[in-house]
Structures are given as structure tokens and as C-alpha cells.
Structure 1
Amino acid sequence: MTTASLSSSTGSTPGASTAPEAAQPLLSIRGLEKRFSLSGDFLEQLKFKGGKLVREQKHVHAINGVDLDIRRGEALCVVGESGCGKSTVARTVMGLITPSAGEIRYDGERIDDRSTKELLPYRRRMQMIFQNPYASLNPRMTIQQTLEEPIRLHHPDWSPAKVQDKVAEVMNAVGIAPDWGARYGHEFSGGQRQRIAIARALAVDPEFIVADEPISALDVSIQAQVLNLLMEAQQERNLTYLFITHDLAVVEHFGTRVAVMYLGRVCEVAPTATLFATPRHPYTQALMSAIPRLEDDRPQHIRLQGEVPTPVNLPSGCVFHGRCPHANARCRDEVPALIATDQGGQVACHGVEEGRI
């Protein structure tokens, strides 16, 4: 997409957090893991090997020990190639997927172990915008019904007139014409449907929104409009975003901070300007070198060797060691932890820790 059409730059990101580093994060993730079974039910797991009946289980290790903090008012972008686990993190945070291990805390309270009923108060404070606007709207409901549904769920004591006033308010906020209310989702384009999805998320006045690649299914000409809408909503409503994307041009203009994931692990977390100017992790450096630039002095493109390992059989130690030109014996044996950098970020790399990179 063309970055020139966006209304804001990294240096003036709307809603950027000014809270001190010591302030309690709005969302805190620690040791988060998610495994999906490939073995079927119990009987399908039983196999004959060497004349003995054994139970064999295989799992896809989608996320593996993710640690992240999201501060109030910021837009934390999570980037990485397809299959790295970024969307699984988003859905686990929202309670759509149950984690296999780890914990998630929202405003200091643990939420990953709560029942559906106990989570209801948090559902109003946390909303999600999905990737595909063609699948996220109920085809049997009008737009008016779609926008009224979450309001009625979270405010059962509101009168019909008050609900309709709230719907009119959010429709106006995202640029939806009043006559759209009587129509159905299939009557709209992808960009229009995503505006409706954003209005639905804003209808209950949340403070935290997970946006899972909300513009990837849209035409390039519409992407900037939707991004500007999200940034305006952040500024006007003091929203906090967890923004999942693979588009680094979007990250550079939208994100306050960036978390880079590879094979289910967080490689690096840093302020957006810092990450683009001086990436520390070898994988982040390779990603940044792949961005098309017009400057003559841009770094030479880094070509990684080999293929991304399968998440079924994870490599030992650092998951990136098989493709990293700086890997040594420690990288092959020991999983690196996120360590603080002198530029206000974090990086999980033995080479950086030892001063080799």
C-alpha cells in the first residue's frame, strides 16, 4: 500500500502512551503457550510399535512461551511471517482459544482461567476486529441488528431509544450512512463491511481492541482509509490496540511499539522508530532489509538460508538457529530469554547478549 496516503507518521502516532515504564500494563502476557493436537481422539493415538501398543501424540506448537506487555493508549503491532503464531496470540488474548500454559492478566487481574460468565464484564472492555469482513458479519442480520446486538447484551437495562441513539452515534463516528441500517452485509463492499465491523467493536465503548490483520483482505485503495479511521478512533477514545499484521509499511505508520515473532516465539520488542532504524535480532534485521527503499545507502538485502522449521517438531534452543548466520553451540542448545536493550526494547538473542552481534 502507499504510505503517503496515511494521515500520521511514527513520530506523531495518535494515542501514543506517555506513561512511565514502571506503570502497570493494561495487558500482560507471561509464558503463553498453545498446542493443537494432530493425533485425534484416544483410540486414534494408539499405535503398534515393536510388537507393543503405545500411545503416540503429535502437536502443532503454535505459540511457545510468549511474554508481552501492552501499555495503555499504545498500538502494539505484532509482525511475522505466516504461521508464526501472531493470530493465535490475538485469539488467545480474547478468550476465543484456551491457552495450553501461561497466563494473561488484564488491568492486573488474571483472565485466562475464568469462566464465560466471569469474563462477561471484560468482554465489554475488550473487543476484536477480524481479518475477513466477508465472514465476520452475520448474513441473516441487518446492519442495525448487527450493531444493536452487543449493546443489548452488555446493557440489558437500556431502553430501545437509547440503544438506537448509541447505534446512530457509532455509525456517524465511522462514516456509515444512516440508511445502511436497513440493509444486509452482502450489499456492501469489503471496505464498507470493515467499517461496520469497526462500528460494532466501538459500540460498547471498549478501551482495548485486538485487530487481527483488519486490512489484509481489502483493496489497496481502501486500506489507508480504514487505517486512518482506526487511528482517529484511538485518538478520540484513548484506545489501546493489539494490531496483528504482516505489512511493515502499516507498522511504520501505525505502531507505537513492535513485537517480532518467529515460529511461536517473540524475537524482539522495540519502539517503532528504534526497530526500523536499528533492529537487533538477526531475524528482524532480515525483515527490515527486505523492505523496498529508494535510498542508495540502504542496507544490502539479507538472504536467509534454509526453510522455516515445522511447528510440529520444533528445533532445540533458539528456534531461529538453523537459519541464523551467527548461531553457535549455545544457540542450538539453550532457549534465549528476552533481555532489555540500551534503546528501550527487548531482544531474545544469545549473540546480542554476548556482544557478538
Structure 2
Amino acid sequence: MRGDDIGQPLLEIRHLEKRFALDQGFLETLRFRKGHITRERREVHAVNDVSLGIARGEALCVVGESGCGKSTVARLIAGLLTPSSGSVHYDGTRIDTLSGRALRPFRRKMQMIFQNPYASLNPRMTIQQTLEEPVRNHFHGLPRAQVEDKVAEVMRAVGVDPNWAKRYPHEFSGGQRQRIAIARALTVDPDFVVADEPISALDVSIQAQVLNLMLEAKDERGLTYLFITHDLSVVQHFGTRVAVLYLGTLCELADTATLFANPRHPYTKALLSAVPQLKDDHPNHIRLRGEIPTPINMPTGCPFKSRCSYANDRCGAEQPRPLRQPDGALVACHAVEEDRLG
């Protein structure tokens, strides 16, 4: 089912799944079971039946602990990975089945900012070359003077002096590199930006500057963001809505204010309880029991059941589906559906 109800979204994913094969060769698939040789294919279930839409002009934040599938979702949407099943739609057009020339216009409209600014910039290219490359690829025949003007304009927009364009990435700090990575995304005038933890590799003192820069670009250029993060304090500052993932499945989807004021899913409650609060004299941290199940052999029923204190027999047998709550949130939890949380 769909993960929200926002009318015609700019971007929509439907029943998206991604599995990575662990056994590549024939011999790796052979197993000895009960005196017989059998063939088994092992797979990592990274994303499992995720559906949601992103409205034009909003910033949807995707949160969850490491390994929950956040970055895989981002790469599936950006076209860097091919879905095992499901579909990706941009402005009403299915794009995950497109390739080559048919996909090219969507490549320009959808850009990505990566997590590590030390790895995402080519060390052998000057900043001028790095920023000119996407312009030349997507705007064929544009005069050189206009290309240079566009590069200088986006450099100024992100707070980088255009006179530094002849320098190489190693001559810049981490914050400056990430500004350049943002500038690279903006050179082709995109509508939609996928940001995969763009500030996690930066010093805390620089993170707010980069976040504010991205918000300014959103307002000035009418951008729509899919923002991947594990930092919930960033979500409060940046996001309009929040999607919570656990083991590749969607647990909860709600407006930012609604999620922080009234989290429903037990996993969401545990995540928010871990956020430090200066005003709390007696913090009430929720300690999750049990171990995270392996994504190789996905458990039946609810993927969170082994760590949830509210789990019952139904949770072990039936996977919950996202259901609409009175406040508009979508929650996939049998305990919430049956009003067992108290």
C-alpha cells in the first residue's frame, strides 16, 4: 500500500524492494543438508516493501539506525541501484525501468549529495572542472562563457569564492568540500535532491552552516529533498516529514511536529528517547532488549518483534501494514492497531 496520502507527489516509490546476493558463483550456492547436497541462494534483504511519496517543495527525512536501509533507498531513488521489485515514479513517470537517453532528462532533475566530501570529489580535477562537467553533459552546446558564469554563480551561492575555482579538492576543508558538492548538484538546476547523510562527516560547528545553506537553496530554488540522516536533532531543524525505517521496512511516517510530539511506534519511541534533552532532570531512556535480526534470514511477522516488549503471537506470525492514525501519521504496528501500548 502507499506510505502516505499527499495527492500527486513529485516522487513516489511503490512496494520497493532490494536484495543483494551473497553467493556469486555456482559452488558458493551448494550446501550439505541431512546427507544431501542442495543448492541455496542467500540474499541480504536491504529494503522490504517500502511505499511512500514526496510532495513538491518538502523535505522528507528518512531515519533509523545503521544498516536499516536508508542509503539503499536513496540510491534506488537516484538510479544508482536497480530495484529487485517495486517501482520508482518521478512526476507521474516510472523511471526505474528507463535507461540511456530516456533517463537523461530525469538525471538532470534529480541530483545527489553524498555523505563523504573527501571521497565524492575527484582529486585529479580542479573545482572548475568538477562543476563544469555536469553542465556540459546536460546542456550541450552552451557557450563556454555561459558555462563559466554558471559555475561562478553557484560557487557564490554556496559561499565559495569563484577565484578558488582553479584549486584542487585537497586544498579545501571538509565543510568547503561539502559546499562544493552541493554546488555541483545545483549547477544543472535540479528539482529534487537526494542528500545521503551530507553532514555526518563534518565537524559539529560546520554542520549548522551546511544545513542552513541547504535550506536557503530549498527556498530560493524551490527544491524538494529526500534527506537521509541518523541525527534526530537535524530532523527537527530540517524536515517537514519523517519516515522511520527498521530492517528495511517502514515503521512510521508522519509530519515532523506530529512525530516528535506523539511518536506511536515502539521503535520510534526508543529512537526519540535517546535524544539528549537539557531540560530533562530524569531522562526516561528506553532500552531495547534482544538483538537486531539478520537481514539475510528475515524473520516472519514484524521485523521488530525480537526487541519489542509489546510483541505477541500475532506479531510473530503477521507482518503489520502501515495504517492511518487520527493525527494523520502512518504506523505499521499491531500493538498500536490493537491499542496495547497503554
Give your verdict on TM over 0.5.
Answer: yes
Cα offset for 1:56?
Answer: 1.6
Count of residues in correspondence between the two structures? 337
Partner of 2:119: 135
Partner of 1:222: 206
Partner of 1:84: 68
1:352 aligns with 2:336: yes
Partner of 1:273: 257
- Determine which of 285, 299, 302 is the counterpart of 2:269: 285
Larger deviation, residues 292-301 vs 194-203: 292-301
1:33 aligns with 2:21: no
Cα offset for 1:113?
Answer: 1.1
Measured in 2, the distance between the counterparts of 1:51 and 1:114 equals 46
**In the superposition, relative to structure 1, how do residues 27 and 298 fare at CA in structure 2: closer, same or farther (>3 Å)?**
farther
Cα offset for 1:289?
Answer: 1.1
Measured in 2, the distance between the counterparts of 1:275 and 1:233 equals 25
Partner of 1:60: 44
- Determine which of 110, 132, 156 is the counterpart of 1:148: 132
Q: Secondary structure at 1:232's aligned position in 2? A: helix
Cα offset for 1:50?
Answer: 4.4
Measured in 2, the distance between the counterparts of 1:343 and 1:330 equals 25
Cα offset for 1:44?
Answer: 2.5
1:208 aligns with 2:192: yes
Q: Secondary structure at 1:322's aligned position in 2? A: helix
Partner of 2:323: 339
Cα offset for 1:153?
Answer: 0.3
1:23 aligns with 2:10: no
Q: Secondary structure at 1:307's aligned position in 2? A: coil
Cα offset for 1:117?
Answer: 2.7
The letter for the 1-side match of 2:239 is G
- Determine which of 162, 172, 176 is the counterpart of 1:178: 162
Cα offset for 1:345?
Answer: 1.4
- Determine which of 235, 240, 244 is the counterpart of 1:256: 240
Larger deviation, residues 189-198 vs 291-300: 291-300
Overall identity of the aligned pairs, in %? 68
Partner of 2:287: 303
Measured in 2, the distance between the counterparts of 1:132 and 1:320 equals 30
The letter for the 2-side match of 1:60 is V
Q: Which runs of 4+ in 1 moved over 3 A?
A: 47-53, 296-299
The letter for the 2-side match of 1:146 is T
Measured in 2, the distance between the counterparts of 1:131 and 1:94 equals 14
Does the 8 Å CA contact 2:6/2:55 hold for their aligned counterparts?
A: no
Cα offset for 1:121?
Answer: 0.6
Partner of 2:313: 329
Measured in 1, the distance between the counterparts of 2:10 and 2:282 equals 37
Q: Which runs of 5+ in 2 are unaligned?
A: none
Task: Give RMSD over aligned pairs.
Answer: 1.3
Does the 8 Å CA contact 2:322/2:331 hold for their aligned counterparts?
A: yes
Measured in 1, the distance between the counterparts of 2:6 and 2:288 equals 37
Partner of 1:44: 28
Cα offset for 1:53?
Answer: 3.5
Q: Secondary structure at 1:23's aligned position in 2? A: coil
The letter for the 2-side match of 1:312 is I
- Determine which of 167, 178, 197 is the counterpart of 2:151: 167
Measured in 2, the distance between the counterparts of 1:38 and 1:197 equals 33
Cα offset for 1:314?
Answer: 1.2
Measured in 2, the distance between the counterparts of 1:76 and 1:148 equals 29
Does the 8 Å CA contact 2:22/2:42 hold for their aligned counterparts?
A: yes
Q: Which runs of 5+ in 1 are unaligned?
A: 1-20
The letter for the 2-side match of 1:122 is F
**In the superposition, relative to structure 1, how do residues 154 and 298 fare at CA in structure 2: closer, same or farther (>3 Å)?**
farther
- Determine which of 199, 209, 226 is the counterpart of 1:242: 226
Q: Secondary structure at 2:306's aligned position in 1? A: coil
- Determine which of 178, 191, 212 is the counterpart of 2:175: 191
Measured in 1, the distance between the counterparts of 2:148 and 2:99 equals 31
Cα offset for 1:48?
Answer: 4.2
Q: Secondary structure at 1:260's aligned position in 2? A: strand
Superimposed CA distance per residue, residues 314-350 of structure 1 (whole angstroms, 9 cap, x where no aligned partner): 1110000111111111111111111111112101011
Measured in 1, the distance between the counterparts of 2:234 and 2:82 equals 29
1:119 aligns with 2:103: yes
